[in-house]
């Protein structure tokens, strides 16, 4: 279903010379996301408005070519790549914060706003937008909503879905719809907003987003805690969650993740450190003191060998370095790595940690895990060279076993990265046939000709 002859001429009428790229060099830049696959689109366009997108989709609907929405391309499941060719539609030039309403604690944005830019803008007004995927310096809010992004603070504040009040979207036919509300509440009709959140660009292109904000917490405190083993760290996480103290972040790194981070950064770690927790608490000054005392007691009882507490923002940033270096190091050493983001009930983290150790022994492949332990979300990586078919076969077997065990523990196959193309073969493990049939029916209703981000999810 590649771009039909004549379609390019019509697209050039919408986008002029400046906002359409057709050279091979330019198209290659949009052939990837954070997964090491390559699908070169036929053209790349840069809309400035919902009307540009509406005209593009109306054309695609009538001529029958695929359109793939894309923000910054940081997705980790191949969601924004043109697996069937066609046009990649990049929203990064639609990047205005349209209305920051400090009276009603809401904000209206275009989809191409960078998540970190929204954080800065609302924090300057004493407000808080909690979702903070670790990619927030580059990811867009459109991509966050389309993936229902999470991030370290989800443990206390929830995920993107919990902050989306309403959206404007362009359907595959080119029609523009509005779903949801701008108010704090609203229950009229089916919740199309929730359906669009996490729909991975397969049901509509988001062109405006109304988000809920919170007051900025008065105080935060950051701890970096080193342990001799991942088992001890996992027990500490389960005990913190069960204690009733709810930190805003509980991130973990296993020994392999620490080794990776150490290889690209000068990290001053205690001897024998094989697991790290990064814990952040927030609230009023007095709440932070109480939470810190409770967390420190738990980690010490669980066997922490060193507890480092930041005295200011600069020290807090320094403590986070080890966590921030993991992803870049992994991409450096294992561009072919298989990356999963399973979630298990938090009380089952120790069981999953044991299982990962067993998988390492059974399959003999390098495996690295880290992630958002506070909400049971484990980023699990198998480091392979995909050109070696034996390694690839063994890695696939690891993933099957990991997924089966995750589901047996009452977990889910993806906490925040979505299905895209990489998890497509496994979706039937978690979702029943009837439920899949309903989902396919919804897709057909929104996109009868299957032109919007084809080949994803199903
Ligand atoms: C180093 C690193 C760290 C990360 N950390 C986290 C993390 O902590 N938590 C987390 O949840 N994710 C994380 N991610 C994954 C990724 O950053 C998120 O999924 C993010 O939301 C993607 O945003 P994007 O703008 O890059 O979207 P893209 O990758 O461009 O697109 C992602 C999906 O959204 C769709 N899409 C994009 N824009 C629109 C739109 N306007 N309308 C409809 N559909 C659209 C695309 O079609 C695609 O399916 C991380 C990725 C990297 C590389």
**What's the rounded Cα separation, in Å, for the pair 347 and 119?**
31
The two structure tokens encoding residue 397? 């077997």
The finding on whether 374 has its CB within 6 A of some atom of ligand 1 is no
* pLDDT of the residue at 415: 96
The finding on whether 159 has its CB within 6 A of some atom of ligand 1 is no
Over residues 216-240, mean pLDDT = 95
N-to-C CA span, the chain = 17
Please, which pLDDT band fits residue 3 given cuts at 50, 70 and 90?
Answer: confident
177, 448 Cβ separation under 8 angstroms: no
CATH number of 219-327: 3.30.70.2190
pLDDT > 90 fraction of the chain, expressed in percent and rounded: 93
The finding on whether 134 has its CB within 6 A of some atom of ligand 1 is yes
* pLDDT of the residue at 284: 96
Over residues 372-376, mean pLDDT = 92
Pocket test for ligand 1, best of 147, 195, 251, 443 (most atoms within 8 A of CB): 147
The finding on whether 140 has its CB within 6 A of some atom of ligand 1 is yes
Tell whether the model's pLDDT for residue 1 goes beyond 60. no
The finding on whether 453 has its CB within 6 A of some atom of ligand 1 is yes
What is the tens place of the pLDDT at every residue in 100-121?
999 999 999 999 999 999 999 9
- CATH 3.40.50.620 for domain 7-91, yes or no, is no
Tell whether the model's pLDDT for residue 5 goes beyond 90. no
Q: Which residues contact 1 (CB under 8 A, 6 or more apart)?
A: 64, 65, 66, 84, 85, 86, 451, 454
Over residues 337-347, mean pLDDT = 93
24, 109 Cβ separation under 8 angstroms: no
Q: Which of 420, 416, 438, 419 is nearest to 429 (CA)?
A: 419
Nearest-CA residue for atom 19 of ligand 1: 75
Over residues 76-80, mean pLDDT = 97
Nearest-CA residue for atom 23 of ligand 1: 143
94, 110 Cβ separation under 8 angstroms: yes
> 454 CA distance to ligand 1 centroid (A)?
17
The finding on whether 55 has its CB within 6 A of some atom of ligand 1 is no
The finding on whether 144 has its CB within 6 A of some atom of ligand 1 is yes
The finding on whether 151 has its CB within 6 A of some atom of ligand 1 is yes
- CATH 3.90.550.10 for domain 97-215, yes or no, is no
In the chain, where the domains are located: 7-91, 97-215, 219-327, 334-430
Nearest-CA residue for atom 28 of ligand 1: 73
Please, which pLDDT band fits residue 386 given cuts at 50, 70 and 90?
Answer: confident
The finding on whether 226 has its CB within 6 A of some atom of ligand 1 is no
Pocket test for ligand 1, best of 112, 129, 132, 143 (most atoms within 8 A of CB): 143
Sign for the CA dihedral angle at 307, 310, 315, 316 comes to positive
CATH number of 334-430: 3.30.70.2740
Tell whether the model's pLDDT for residue 409 goes beyond 80. yes
**What's the rounded Cα separation, in Å, for the pair 309 and 274?**
19
Average pLDDT score over the chain: 95
Pocket test for ligand 1, best of 30, 75, 153 (most atoms within 8 A of CB): 75
**What's the rounded Cα separation, in Å, for the pair 89 and 456?**
16
Nearest-CA residue for atom 53 of ligand 1: 74
Nearest-CA residue for atom 2 of ligand 1: 135
Order of strands across the sheet that contains 249-253: 306-309, 219-227, 275-283, 249-253, 367-372, 377-382, 338-343
Q: Pairing state of beta strands 275-283 and 367-372?
A: unpaired
Tell whether the model's pLDDT for residue 453 goes beyond 80. yes
Q: Which residues contact 248 (CB under 8 A, 6 or more apart)?
A: 130, 152, 153, 155, 156, 157, 217, 220, 280, 281, 282
Please, which pLDDT band fits residue 430 given cuts at 50, 70 and 90?
Answer: very high
45, 11 Cβ separation under 8 angstroms: yes
Q: Which of 177, 176, 179, 144 is nearest to 162 (CA)?
A: 144
* pLDDT of the residue at 36: 82
452, 204 Cβ separation under 8 angstroms: yes
Please tell me the least confidently modeled range out of 68-82, 93-107, 115-129, 266-280. Answer: 266-280
Q: Which of 435, 375, 426 is nearest to 399 (CA)?
A: 426
Same fold, 219-327 and 334-430: yes
* pLDDT of the residue at 335: 84
Residue 406, SS3 per DSSP: helix
> 169 CA distance to ligand 1 centroid (A)?
17
Buried b (16+ CB within 10 A) or exposed e, 370-401: bbbbbbbbbbbbbbbeeeeeebbebbeebbee
The finding on whether 78 has its CB within 6 A of some atom of ligand 1 is no
Q: Which of 330, 341, 339, 367 is nearest to 254 (CA)?
A: 367
Please, which pLDDT band fits residue 2 given cuts at 50, 70 and 90?
Answer: low
């Amino acid at each position: 279903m590649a771009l039909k002859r004549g379609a390019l001429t019509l697209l050039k009428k919408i986008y002029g010379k400046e906002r359409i790229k057709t050279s091979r060099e330019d198209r290659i830049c949009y052939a990837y996301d954070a997964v090491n696959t390559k699908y070169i689109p036929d053209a790349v366009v840069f809309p400035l408005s919902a009307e540009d997108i509406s005209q593009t989709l109306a054309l695609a609907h009538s001529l029958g070519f695929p359109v793939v929405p894309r923000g910054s391309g940081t997705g980790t499941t191949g969601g924004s790549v043109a697996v069937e060719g066609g046009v990649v539609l990049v929203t990064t030039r639609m990047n205005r914060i349209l209305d920051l309403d400090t009276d009603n604690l809401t904000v209206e944005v275009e989809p191409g706003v960078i998540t970190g830019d929204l954080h800065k803008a609302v924090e300057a007004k004493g407000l808080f937008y909690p979702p903070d995927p670790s990619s927030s310096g580059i990811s867009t809010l459109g991509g966050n909503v389309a993936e229902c992004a999470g991030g370290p603070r989800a443990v206390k504040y929830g995920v993107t879905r919990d902050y989306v009040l309403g959206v404007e979207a362009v359907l595959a036919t080119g029609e523009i719809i509005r779903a949801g509300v701008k108010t704090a509440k609203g229950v009229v009709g089916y919740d199309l907003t929730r359906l669009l959140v996490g729909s991975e660009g397969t049901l509509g292109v988001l062109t405006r987003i109304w988000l809920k904000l919170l007051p900025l917490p008065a105080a935060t405190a950051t701890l970096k805690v080193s342990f001799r083993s991942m088992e001890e760290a996992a027990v500490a996480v389960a005990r913190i969650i069960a204690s009733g103290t709810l930190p805003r972040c509980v991130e973990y790194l296993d020994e392999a993740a620490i080794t990776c981070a150490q290889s690209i950064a000068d990290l001053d770690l205690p001897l024998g450190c094989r697991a790290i927790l990064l814990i952040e608490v927030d609230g009023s000054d007095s709440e932070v003191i109480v939470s810190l005392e409770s967390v420190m007691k738990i980690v010490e009882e669980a066997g922490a060998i060193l507890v480092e507490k930041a005295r200011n923002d600069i020290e807090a940033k320094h403590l986070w370095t080890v966590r921030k270096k993991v992803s870049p190091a992994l991409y450096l050493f294992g561009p072919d790595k298989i990356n999963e983001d399973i979630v298990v009930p938090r009380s089952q983290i120790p069981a999953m940690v044991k299982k990962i150790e067993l998988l390492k022994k059974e399959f003999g492949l390098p495996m690295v895990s880290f992630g958002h332990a506070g909400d049971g979300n484990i980023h699990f990586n198998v480091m392979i060279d995909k050109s070696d078919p034996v390694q690839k076969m063994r890695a696939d077997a690891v993933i099957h076993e990991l997924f089966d065990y995750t589901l047996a523990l009452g977990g889910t196959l993806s906490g925040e990265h979505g299905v895209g193309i990489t998890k497509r073969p496994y979706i039937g493990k978690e979702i029943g046939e009837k439920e899949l049939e309903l989902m396919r029916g919804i897709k057909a209703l929104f996109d009868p000709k299957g032109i919007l981000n084809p080949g994803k999810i199903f």
